[in-house]
Amino acid sequence: MEVSGLTSGELAELREGVRSRLSWDSSVTDDELLKLIENELFQKEQTRRMTAAERKAAVNRLFHSFRGLDALQPLLEDTEITEIMINSHNEIYIEKRGELQSVNLGFESPERLEDLIQSMVGRVNRIVNEASPIVDARLPDGSRVHVVLPPIALKGPTVTIRRFPQNPLGMTELIAMEALSQEAADFLEQMVAAKYNLFICGGTGSGKTTFLNALSQWIPADERVITIEDAAELQIRGVSNLVSLETRNANSEGKGHIGIRELIRASLRMRPNRIIVGEVRGAEALDMLQAMNSGHEGSLSTGHSNGALDMVSRLETMVLSGADLPVIVVRQQIASAVDIIIHLCRFRDSTRRVSEICEVTGFREGEVQLSTLFRFEEEKQMNGRIVGQLKRVESICDLRKLRSAGLLGEID
Domain 171-410 -> CATH class: alpha beta
CA proximity to 210, closest of 169, 167, 160, 163: 169
**C-alpha distances in Å from residue 171, one per residue of 54, 177, 215, 224:** 43, 10, 7, 22
* pLDDT of amino acid 31: 75
Query: Which tens digit of pLDDT belongs to each residue from 79-102?
Result: 889 899 999 998 999 998 878 899
This prediction has a pTM of 0.78
What is the rounded CA–CA span in Å between residue 286 and residue 301?
A: 13
CATH of 69-163, one of 3.30.450.370, 3.30.410.40, 3.40.50.720, 3.30.365.10: 3.30.450.370
* pLDDT of amino acid 74: 82
* Helix/strand/coil percent split, the chain, to 5: 35, 25, 40
Where do the domains of the chain lie?
Answer: 1-67, 69-163, 171-410
Q: Are 41 and 14 spatial neighbours (Cβ–Cβ below 8 Å)? A: yes
Consecutive H or E run containing 333: helix 327-337
* pLDDT of amino acid 26: 56
Q: What are phi and psi of 107, to 5 degrees?
A: -105, 150
What is the rounded CA–CA span in Å between residue 147 and residue 127?
A: 11
What is the rounded CA–CA span in Å between residue 90 and residue 49?
A: 24
**How many other C-beta atoms can be found within 10 angstroms of the C-beta atom of residue 240?**
9
Q: Which residues pair with 3 in a beta bridge?
A: 6
Q: Which residues of the chain have pLDDT under 50?
A: 1-3
Domains 69-163 and 171-410 share a fold: no
* pLDDT of amino acid 1: 44
